[in-house]
């Protein structure tokens, strides 16, 4: 079945050659140029084979509308966000479908502060696009594209300045990194070596051919796990194709789960960089909340999506947070975006400060079990299904800011419509694997019953 274009707070994404084309990229770039009102706009991409064509299309769209494109080339998404702010550009366009398979691509829009557009601002941009009344610059007003000499440098410098580099370098950690043949293939080794690490790598060619699943889930990290064991590494890091998410493999070669990435980051930031509120999305593990509350810090749960977490962090003055459900760590003092490079540095700093292995650190974090599932949306009334769940569980501790979130004693579940795929996301967490599986199965049955009743 042909996939349709998906337009929302996460940007514009679709299947290359079907719903996502160079013509579309040029049109959205023209709309963005009209929206920001001219000036410099930074364009970057991940390593997908379609990325260069889409970048060229976006650059031409910006030029035709009178903007000055800044072609950053292959660049991690957090580096792109930092670069927009560093250059004082009017905005940025990231051409990446992040964790989606290689046949997908997308455009993500960044404001002048280096943050993704809020839901309201994204809606305004899409209104401009749908109206189709874009400015067209005369030939003499067409601006040549700039190319920054070191587009990743400002980002790496900010991360290096934030952590205790001396303590990390003293430990001379041995690190394995899985770059998924994405943007990290060009920058992860350079970054880790600046931290004094010995680096070994896999899937480290910037080809955009994802030889393992694009999401750094435990089941996709077999090669990294073996590399850690074979090389006797202290830790293994796995990035997604655009470098904003991070998963960790411990010193025994075990993948510890993406939520633990965020739990460790929260631990280190609160212990050594200052106390304050912590903002996490509704599908993040309770272990992250436990780590923060042990340190006397308030936890705010938000809608799914980086934009929603960042907005909550800035409004509350949160010092750390993110999306444990995808290994997305956000440290506003570095930059308010998900950042695998900040996550790597803060975990290495934690290892150095505590003088413990990753396995030993993992043992100090409360253990829960998560089951994630999905239910296809075709042919069902999503709003009606969610209303049915709300009525069933309304007597419990709930949140309805994003689908249905319910706490049941020492367990919880979250059901919501995906921002990026035509599915309902079902996340269930409990103290044991059996309890989490039963809760997930119960929810799927209740969703099926509600769908049949429509």
Domain C-terminal end among 110, 131, 151: 151
Task: Tell me how far apart the alpha carbons of residues 454 and 451 are, in angstroms, rounded to a whole number.
Answer: 6
Q: Is residue 86 part of a domain?
A: yes
User: Do both 81 and 171 map to the same domain?
Assistant: no
| Residue 31 φ/ψ, nearest 5 degrees | -65, -40
User: Do both 23 and 112 map to the same domain?
Assistant: yes
Any idea what the CATH number is for the domain that residue 50 is in? 3.40.120.10
Active-site option among 10, 60, 64, 98: 98
User: Do both 38 and 134 map to the same domain?
Assistant: yes
pLDDT tens digits, 158-203: 999 999 999 999 999 999 999 999 999 999 999 999 999 999 999 9
The structural domain count of the chain equals 3
User: Do both 165 and 298 map to the same domain?
Assistant: yes
What number is the average pLDDT over the span 349-355?
Answer: 98
Any idea what the CATH number is for the domain that residue 373 is in? 3.30.310.50
Domain C-terminal end among 339, 363, 387: 363
What number is the average pLDDT over the span 237-264?
Answer: 97
Q: Spell out the SS3 assignment of 216-251.
A: CCHHHCHHHHHHHHHHCCCEEEEECCCCCCEEEECC
User: Do both 295 and 341 map to the same domain?
Assistant: yes
The answer, yes or no, to whether residue 1 has pLDDT greater than 50, is no
Domain C-terminal end among 314, 331, 363: 363
Q: Is residue 103 part of a domain?
A: yes
Annotated catalytic residue 79: no
Q: Is residue 332 part of a domain?
A: yes
Residue-number span of the structural domain to which 375 is assigned: 369-452
The answer, yes or no, to whether residue 301 has pLDDT greater than 50, is yes
User: Do both 392 and 447 map to the same domain?
Assistant: yes
Q: Is residue 164 part of a domain?
A: yes
User: Do both 197 and 60 map to the same domain?
Assistant: no
- Is the sign of the CA dihedral 259, 260, 263, 265 positive or negative? negative
- Is the sign of the CA dihedral 414, 415, 418, 419 positive or negative? negative
Nearest alpha-carbon partner for 306 in 113, 116, 126:
116
The answer, yes or no, to whether residue 433 has pLDDT greater than 50, is yes
Q: What is the pLDDT of residue 134?
A: 85
Q: What is the pLDDT of residue 422?
A: 73
* Rg of the chain taking only CA atoms, in angstroms: 22
User: Do both 147 and 259 map to the same domain?
Assistant: no
Task: Tell me how far apart the alpha carbons of residues 396 and 408 are, in angstroms, rounded to a whole number.
Answer: 7
User: Do both 246 and 270 map to the same domain?
Assistant: yes
Q: Is residue 1 part of a domain?
A: no
User: Do both 293 and 235 map to the same domain?
Assistant: yes
Tell whether pTM > 0.85: yes
User: Do both 125 and 52 map to the same domain?
Assistant: yes
The answer, yes or no, to whether residue 49 has pLDDT greater than 80, is yes
The two tokens of residue 406 are: 């319910």
> 6: how many CB neighbours lie within 10 A of its CB?
20
């Amino acid at each position: 079945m042909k996939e349709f274009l998906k337009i929302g707070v996460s940007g514009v994404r679709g299947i290359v050659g079907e719903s996502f084309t160079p013509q579309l990229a040029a049109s959205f770039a023209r709309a963005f140029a009209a929206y920001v009102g001219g000036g410099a706009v930074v364009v970057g991409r991940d390593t997908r084979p379609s990325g260069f064509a889409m970048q060229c299309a976006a650059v031409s769209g910006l030029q035709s509308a009178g903007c000055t494109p800044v072609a950053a080339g292959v660049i991690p998404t957090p580096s792109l966000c930092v670069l927009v702010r560093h250059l004082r550009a009017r905005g940025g366009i990231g051409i990446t479908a992040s964790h989606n398979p290689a046949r997908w691509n997308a455009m993500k829009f960044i404001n002048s502060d280096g943050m993704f557009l809020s839901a309201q601002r994204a809606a305004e941009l899409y209104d401009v696009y749908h109206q189709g009344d874009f400015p067209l610059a005369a030939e003499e007003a067409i601006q040549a594209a700039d190319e920054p000499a070191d587009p990743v440098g400002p980002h790496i410098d900010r991360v290096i300045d934030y952590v205790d580099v001396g303590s990390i370098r003293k430990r001379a950690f041995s690190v394995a990194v899985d770059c998924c043949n994405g943007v990290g293939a060009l920058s992860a080794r350079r970054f880790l070596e600046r931290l004094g690490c010995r680096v070994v790598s896999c899937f480290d060619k910037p080809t955009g051919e994802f030889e393992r699943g694009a999401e750094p889930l435990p089941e996709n990290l077999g090669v990294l796990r073996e590399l850690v064991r074979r090389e006797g590494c202290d830790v293994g890091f796995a990035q997604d194709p655009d470098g904003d998410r991070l998963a960790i493999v411990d010193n025994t070669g075990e993948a510890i789960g993406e939520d633990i990435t965020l739990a460790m980051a929260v631990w280190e930031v609160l212990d050594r960089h200052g106390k304050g509120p912590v903002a996490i999305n509704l599908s993040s593990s309770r272990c992250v909340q436990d780590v923060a509350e042990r340190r006397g810090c308030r936890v705010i749960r938000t809608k799914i999506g980086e934009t929603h977490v960042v907005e909550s962090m800035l409004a509350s003055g949160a010092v750390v947070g993110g999306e444990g459900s995808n290994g997305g760590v956000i440290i506003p003092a570095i930059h308010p975006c998900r950042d695998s490079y900040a996550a790597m540095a803060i975990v290495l700093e934690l290892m150095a400060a505590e003088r413990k292995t990753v396995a030993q650190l993992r043992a100090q974090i409360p253990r829960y079990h998560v089951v994630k599932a999905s239910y296809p949306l075709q042919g069902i009334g999503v709003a009606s299904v969610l209303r049915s769940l709300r009525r069933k569980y309304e007597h419990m501790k709930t949140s309805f800011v994003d689908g249905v979130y319910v706490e049941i004693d020492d367990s919880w579940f979250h059901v919501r419509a995906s921002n990026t795929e035509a599915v309902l996301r079902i996340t269930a967490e409990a103290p044991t694997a059996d309890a989490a599986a039963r809760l997930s199965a119960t929810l799927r049955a209740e969703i099926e019953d509600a769908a049949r009743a429509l």
